[in-house]
Amino acid sequence: MRTRMAIWSGKMAGILSKSMGNDGTTIPGVVARKVDPLFLRHLRKTAKTIIYITGTNGKTTTANLAAHLLRFAGKKVIANLEGSNMVTGLSAALVRQTPLVGWRVNEIAVMEVDEASLPKVVSECAPDYLIVTNFFRDQLDRYGEVDLLIKKMKESLRTFDIKLILNGDDPFVHRFSSLQKENIYVGLDANACPFQSYSMAESKYCPECQNELTYTTIHYGQLGHYKCSCGFSRPEPNFSVEKVENGIQGVRLSVDGVSYPTTLKGMYNAYNALLAITMCRTLGIDSKYIQDGLVSYHKGNGRMQEFSINGVKWKLNLVKNPAGANVTLSEYMLTKEKKQFIFCLNDELADGEDISWIWDIDLEMANRSEVDIYIASGKRAYDVALRMKYAGIPSEKIMILPNLKEAVFYTKSKALPTYVMATYTCLSPLISILSRETDKLEKGDENIGTATIPLLPRYLKPVWGQRKYHMFKKTMRMAGNYASSRRNK
């Protein structure tokens, strides 16, 4: 009865939160866990096979793509596609996809899991498979150093019977091999993909003996073909990409002699696609279903998302750490066309309150003559502008527009291809703004693009006060997992 009360309470909290103008993606899980503190353990009741995807970069794309491919193959899947990946977010997904009475039985659960939250998530409900994408320095104020984070994650997995799907090209991920689980490795062949090089790099030291690793091939960051004199070296992959082609529709992968066309843009997405393909092949999904599912997948979550506004191309990508920003810049600067560049930076909790990581970005590679103007936007726009100045970008080409909508509208007036990098809390507003402008073009509606306010929130907000301080936001901040993960305690 307690569990059923948790589900009912969570559903009602989600409905009320949405009626007040919020997205309501996390609050159902927060409330459910107040009633039943170990609510996530019930995930096992609704899924026969549980898959968790974690890592620094690419876990959202990998999780969403894997869920899509499995559904395309006819599997019943439960997933947290909204991107809420802490224990409260996973609990919220379970609340939303569970009926008021009984349990909906799914064949597979595909859950994206925050790295710092993995120990708590696993302690409540261990998965059957864990996919680990990569590890880079990310939000040091929250996660701490990579070595400490990996150690905690490994310890949380030690006692469970879990199959691991590991990116063998990352020496940090390869450290999970010491757990002596059933390991499935993936990787890119030496000449599979022509990644653009950049001067900034992640640590290239052996995680076992701390001596410098020897690389015969570097794809990006510390990912590549490595070995050390102590015997630590890149494992032989079970699933290997022989060739990656960057086409108009997206990257195309050749995996063990089978061609897989995708709609994913950006060469680095080869790893995300490979991990999703490996998961499906491991579960016995036929390659034909995977191929057809890949070309039918359409992302809309700000990961190399494209828009067409007044016939001009716009491209938006999430960045949250130096490695992600560098590969984004390398993709943006591939063409020699006249273009504009926007960097939107916030310092909210979800973005990381320490924004010093922008000084580890190789922003110098963006100092190109074909870039007409550089827009610094977001709450920390002035910090971005200063970083651009130190990258050698001429002052007359830098414009500071902290308001996101103002930045988009100013750039739109110049009618040039525009490339946007944005942190988490900038992403959703930018998608909304750009989507409305795209709709305006397609529908020919002059009113599209103007802000609308839902009727209920319009009258409730004066009573409740500022949205970010109303009771639901406070409840989320008070949630045990949400608060403890902030300082990596």
Strand 129-132 relative to strand 163-167, pairing = parallel
CA distance 234 to 229: 12
Burial class (CB in 10 A: 0-12, 13-18, 19+), 56: buried
Cα 74 to Cα 107: distance, rounded to the nearest angstrom: 10
Nearest 10 degrees: Cα torsion 271, 275, 276, 277: 100
In degrees, rounded to 5, the angle at the alpha carbon of residue 27 between the alpha carbons of residues 26 and 31 is: 130
What would the two tokens of residue 194 be?
């022509």
**Catalytic pick among 354, 362, 372, 383:** 354
The 3-state DSSP class for residue 338 equals coil
Instruction: For residue 318, give Cα distances in angstroms to 25, 31, 136, 144, 425.
Output: 19, 29, 15, 21, 10
Task: Locate the DSSP E strands across 247-400.
Answer: 251-255, 258-261, 305-309, 312-318, 339-344, 371-377, 398-400
**In this structure, how many other beta carbons lie within 10 angstroms of the beta carbon of residue 137?**
18
Dihedral pair phi/psi, residue 310, rounded to 5°: 55, 35
Count of C-beta atoms within a 10 Å radius of residue 391: 17
Residue in this structure with the two tokens 């909290």, named with its chain if needed:
13
Backbone torsions φ then ψ of 298, nearest 5 degrees: -130, 120
Measured at the CA of 139, the angle between CA 137 and CA 141, to 5 degrees, comes to 115
Does residue 147 carry a catalytic annotation?
Answer: no
Q: Which are the contacts of 327, defined by CB distance < 8 A and separation ≥ 6?
A: 195, 220, 221, 266, 267, 268
Neighbours of 376 (CB within 10 A): 25
Q: Tokens 């291809």 — which residue?
A: 417
Q: What are the catalytic residues?
A: 354
